[in-house]
């Protein structure tokens, strides 16, 4: 799907994938790069894991990432923040893993062997970088930092970003970037952790977020979208008995149904939708 849409974002590509996983284990994906500092980062990750009382079950370097399976008991937020201070942490969750890096969908797939992943749902994103340095950490998807298993991809711009960021920071939430997508992820995750359903959290986001946006969010068991009231950013979807697929353009959906005429629809302005399935 992503290679079909690469013209919208040739610089970096990212995936948030929900594999098998289990409730006892956390999967952590760090970005450590490939240079000489990578080993040091891995070392530091090990040290902080030990300090936090986490047990490292396995760890391997794939591409520029370091994927660790750990066992940890205790509050996830404190643990996640501690790990984020140790190294660039792209995702944390029982099932979620975020892989994102410079390059096209095919290049990132090749580097990280994503074709082999089996799972129930996922998000993807291609990014147009206007800065010369294409930084992997600026790529999407974004993880809701501090929360387990929540990820987001977003096209648009949140114009009351700083208002919401300051509010959330006062409540003790931390942000790793100035990217508004990360804000939406944390905003939604906070709602969910307070007991709201994903539907409710998404509906609230349409009230609370100003600007133009089409975004997709995923949790361990659900996937959902929200679209701003002006329908400024594209979104098109196709739904069958077996799957739902949502993209910016039909060309991505066609990848799933080559040669078939699709009955697509555009979600209406100011609407949300959610789907759930477990493997």
Partner 1 sequence: MVTLDLAHLSVREANRRLRELGAAGDDVEILNPDAKHHIGVGLVHPITVKVRGSAGYFCAGLTHGARFEIDSNVGWGVGDNIYDGTVIVGGNAGAVAGVAIRGAEVIIKGNMGSRAGQVMKAGTLLCCGNASFMAGTMMYGGRIVILGRSGERLGEDMTGGEIFVAGGIDSLGTDAVETDISKTETDSILEFLERHKIPFQGHFSKVVNAGAKLRYTTPEPTLRNQPTTVAMAGGFWNAKTQEDIEVKAVTGRYRVRGYGTSRAIPHFNDIAFRRDILPDEGAVSKVNLAMELGSRSGAKPLSLSMPVLIAPMSYGALSRSTKLALGIASRLSRIAENTGEGGMIQEERDEAGQLIFQCLSGRLGWNVRDMQKADAIEIYISQGAKPGLGGQLMASKVTPELASIRGIPPGIDLRSPSRHPDVLGADDLVIKIEEFREATGYAKPISVKLGAGRVKDDIKIAFKDGFDFVELDGLQGSTGAASAEVIEHVGIPTLAAIVEAIDALREVGARKNEMPIVLMGGIKDGVDAAKAIALGAGAVAVGTAALIAGGCISCMRCQAGYCVTGIATQNPEHEKRFRTDVEAHNIHRFLESMRWQLAAIVHGLGKTDVHQLCRDDLVALTPEAAAITGLPYEARS
Residues that bind partner 1 (CB under 8 A): 4, 7-9, 128-132, 155-157, 212, 231-234, 236, 248-251, 253-254, 259, 261-266, 268-269
Q: Cβ 252 to partner 1, closest distance in Å?
A: 8
Q: Cβ 206 to partner 1, closest distance in Å?
A: 14
Between 6 and 221, CB nearer to partner 1:
6
Contact 195, 170 (CB under 8 A): no
Q: Which residues contact 111 (CB under 8 A, 6 or more apart)?
A: 62, 63, 64, 101, 103
Between 118 and 130, CB nearer to partner 1:
130
Between 88 and 154, CB nearer to partner 1:
154
Contact 211, 233 (CB under 8 A): no
Q: Cβ 57 to partner 1, closest distance in Å?
A: 40
Q: Report the alpha-carbon distance of residue 95 to residue 177 in Å, rounded.
A: 23
CA distances from 206 to 144, 173, 180 (A): 18, 21, 14
Between 181 and 248, CB nearer to partner 1:
248
Q: Cβ 232 to partner 1, closest distance in Å?
A: 5
Q: Cβ 142 to partner 1, closest distance in Å?
A: 17
Q: Report the alpha-carbon distance of residue 91 to residue 267 in Å, rounded.
A: 28
3-state SS assignment for residue 238: strand
Between 197 and 260, CB nearer to partner 1:
260
Q: Cβ 269 to partner 1, closest distance in Å?
A: 5
Closest listed residue to residue 161, CA positions, set 107, 122, 213, 201: 213
Closest listed residue to residue 198, CA positions, set 163, 231, 151: 151
Between 150 and 226, CB nearer to partner 1:
226
């Amino acid at each position: 799907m992503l290679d079909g849409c690469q013209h919208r974002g040739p610089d970096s590509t990212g995936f948030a994938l929900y594999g098998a996983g289990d409730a006892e284990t956390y999967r952590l994906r760090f970005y450590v790069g490939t240079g000489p500092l990578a080993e040091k980062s891995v070392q530091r990750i090990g040290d902080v894991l030990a300090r936090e009382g986490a047990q490292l079950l396995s760890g391997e370097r794939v591409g520029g990432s370091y994927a660790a399976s750990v066992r940890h008991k205790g509050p996830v937020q404190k643990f996640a923040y501690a790990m984020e201070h140790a190294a660039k942490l792209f995702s944390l969750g029982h099932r979620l893993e975020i892989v994102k890096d410079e390059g096209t969908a095919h290049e990132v797939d090749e580097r990280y062997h994503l074709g082999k992943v089996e799972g129930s749902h996922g998000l993807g994103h291609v990014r147009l970088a206007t800065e010369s340095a294409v930084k992997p950490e600026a790529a999407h998807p974004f993880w809701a930092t501090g929360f387990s298993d929540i990820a987001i991809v977003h096209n648009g711009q949140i114009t009351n970003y700083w208002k919401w960021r300051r509010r959330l920071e006062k409540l003790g939430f931390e942000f790793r970037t100035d990217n508004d997508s990360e804000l939406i992820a944390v905003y939604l995750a906070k709602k969910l952790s307070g007991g709201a359903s994903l539907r409710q959290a998404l509906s609230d986001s349409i009230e609370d977020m100003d600007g133009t946006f089409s975004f997709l969010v995923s949790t361990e068991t659900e996937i959902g979208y929200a679209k701003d009231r002006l329908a400024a950013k594209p979104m098109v979807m196709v739904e069958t008995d077996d799957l739902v697929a949502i993209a910016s353009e039909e060309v991505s959906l066609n990848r799933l149904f080559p040669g078939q005429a699709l009955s697509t629809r555009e979600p209406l302005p100011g609407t949300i939708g959610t789907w759930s399935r477990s493997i």
